[in-house]
Amino acid sequence: MEGLTIQYKSLREAVEKATSRKMCTPRDFDFLAMRIFDTTHTYVSPTTLKRFWGYLNNGKVYQPRKSTLDLLSIYVGYNDFDSYCSSSSSNDCINSDFIKSPSLYVTSLSKGSIVKLMWTPDRCVRVSFLGDDMFEVVESINSKLQEGDRFCCGCFIDGEPLYLTRLVRNGVALGAYVCGQDSGIKFYIGNNRGGGKT
């Protein structure tokens, strides 16, 4: 069972990488269900996905159906879950664990909250929370993001890349964007320059 648990973690990580989005909020799971359907033409409910990610389990162990595992494996480019496991084992690709770094979930923010984001070499962006997982860039230093850009994000994780979805600039959808792909981001809350990291 322990080996399967490791494979489940690995598969969740592979799905998040393929989606360019961490599964942190109900909207993330709705988005993932839609992406899976668009890719595989097979529907899986957001509730099933939430259970597989442990979002709804309340401490209970959830045993996913083989059909769910197969579908997620197909979504990330394999024939089924067995082929995913074989490939992961033979390539020593299992590299996943619980995230222990400080995290900021947008559900803890109030409208108008300012989050300061920094990543190497010298990027600094301040964003304002608009509600419903939506943010607007209010200041951008040495970044390709521009003041007025809007995007969706479910959570910020210290030291991890930040994946922005539904990035819109001047009414034009630009798609997804990643900040701090190599070294991750640092986040701070507050309007002041130093901020106060949670």
166 class by beta-carbon count within 10 Å (0-12 exposed, 13-18 middle, 19+ buried): middle
Q: Which residue has the higher pLDDT, 38 or 193?
A: 38
With 90 as the cut, is the pLDDT of residue 15 above it? yes
Helices 2-19 and 66-75 meet at what angle, rounded to 10? 40
**For the CA atoms of 12, 104, 177, 76, what is the dihedral angle to 10 degrees?**
0
The residue with tokens 């910020």 is 156
Q: What is the pLDDT of residues 56-82, one digit of tens each?
A: 866 566 788 999 999 999 999 899 998
Per the DSSP assignment, residues forming a β-bridge with 104 are 156
The pTM is what? 0.51
Q: How sure is the predictor about 97, in pLDDT bands with cuts at 50, 70 and 90?
A: low
Cα 106 from Cα 104, distance rounded (Å): 6
